[in-house]
Amino acid sequence: MKIADSHAHLYDKKFNRDRGKVIQRAQKAKIGIIIVPSEDITSGKKALALANEHPELFYPAIGFHPHNTEKFNEEELKKELETGKYVAIGEIGLDYYYDRDVVDKQKEILKRQFEMALTFNLPVILHVRDAFMDIFQIIDEFPGLYGVFHCFTGTIEEVQEVLKRNFYVSFSGIITYKNAEKIREAARMVPPDRLLVETDSPYLSPMPMRGKRNEPSFIVHVIKKLSEITGIREEHLIETTYSNTQRLFKLNVGAT
């Protein structure tokens, strides 16, 4: 029985000092899949380099994060995707928390990346902050688009909109935080076949590791909490989220 961490930025410089040990601890914790999303071309290439070193563990994704709209380069992104080495376009999305003044630019770039997801038949990894209504509207302009809302932090109403569109919902260590009752309520609404788990390493360490650098082996705390919240047995949750990750990202890896 193996675990899938559907979102970890293992190329981050916070791992430069001891990345090998972090990987060893992940494997010791029975993690069999780590999806490595990126934020721009440079980090995407780093994610790919990791996957080339450890093809049995890492699966890279590439895309322009809403904070990197000014770097957007369609040609370069296309060139990378044409290698056929990336399992998704991400993380991409809308984030109005810091940059409300570049809303139009974020939307435009998101649409161009959605276009590519359809062309390359790849899932999208979505980062959404304070922008759910807008992203639903844009998704509806792209029939056939599929993917995951990563690190979900929305409400019950918002998770229902996600599920209506047949997207997956990924939960991070945030569900272990005291003030996250709304998110836990949303988690209870998600049917098992739409659930994913993630660490979002090096960010968002789950309790009791909060405040430390996050790493994939800490996923066990997310799973434990999600099991408590949903009433789904831990082993079943591990199996289900693993096979959901395989299905969404079309990975050819063993189920055990």
Binding residues for Zn ion (CB under 5 A):
91
Closest separation between CB of residue 255 and Zn ion, Å? 26
Q: Which helix (H) or strand (E) is 170 found in, with range?
A: strand 168-171
Cβ proximity of 61 and 38 under 8 Å = yes
Q: In whole angstroms, how close is the CB of 203 to Zn ion at the nearest point?
A: 7
User: C-beta of 7: minimal distance to Zn ion in Å?
Assistant: 6
**Do the beta carbons of residue 241 and residue 187 sit within 8 Å?**
no
Nearer to Zn ion, 95 or 239 (CB): 95
Nearer to Zn ion, 40 or 91 (CB): 91
Nearest distance from residue 198's CB to Zn ion, in Å? 8
From the CB of 28, what's the least distance to Zn ion, in Å?
24
Q: Which is nearer to Zn ion, 51 or 239 (CB)?
A: 51
Question: Quick one: CA dihedral 142, 148, 152, 154, positive or negative?
Answer: positive
**DSSP-H helix ranges across the chain:** 19-28, 41-53, 74-81, 103-120, 132-139, 156-164, 181-188, 219-230, 234-249
**Residue whose CB is less far from Zn ion, 204 or 239:** 204
Nearer to Zn ion by Cβ, of 34 and 239: the residue is: 34
Q: Are 87 and 122 in contact (CB under 8 A)?
A: yes
Under 8 Å between Cβ of 182 and 155: yes
